[in-house]
């Protein structure tokens, strides 16, 4: 998800939160929302990952293995 509007990201994450089985295929695109500057988006991202469950675990692990770049946390982009 690369949309710059926090409300759009929040609504998209809510959609995935309510359909975690559909979200599994998008975990890599959802992971950057965990480091989004807007607190509501981060909370929704965490809740979405909780709903997805263990199927989401490999994505953050892959992210941690990459070196951080720039001024942003690894998950923002």
pLDDT digits 0-9 by tens, 64-75? 676 666 555 555
Quickly state the pLDDT bin for 23 (edges 50, 70, 90).
confident
Mean pLDDT of 17-22: 82
| Cβ(27)–Cβ(52) below 8 Å | yes
41 Cα distance to chain centroid: 9
pLDDT given for residue 19 in this prediction: 84
| N-to-C CA span, the chain | 9
**Top-confidence residue, 52 or 58:** 52
| Cβ(14)–Cβ(41) below 8 Å | no
The pTM of the full predicted model, rounded to 2 decimals, is: 0.62
> How far is the C-alpha of 22 from the C-alpha of 27, rounded, in Å?
10
Mean pLDDT for all residues in the chain: 77
């Amino acid at each position: 998800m690369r949309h710059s509007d926090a409300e759009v990201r929040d609504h998209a994450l809510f959609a995935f939160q309510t359909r975690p089985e559909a979200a599994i295929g998008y975990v890599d695109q959802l992971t950057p929302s965990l480091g989004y500057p807007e607190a509501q988006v981060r909370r929704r991202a965490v809740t979405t990952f909780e709903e997805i469950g263990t199927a989401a675990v490999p994505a953050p692990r892959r992210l941690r293995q990459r070196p951080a770049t720039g001024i942003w946390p690894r998950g923002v982009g």
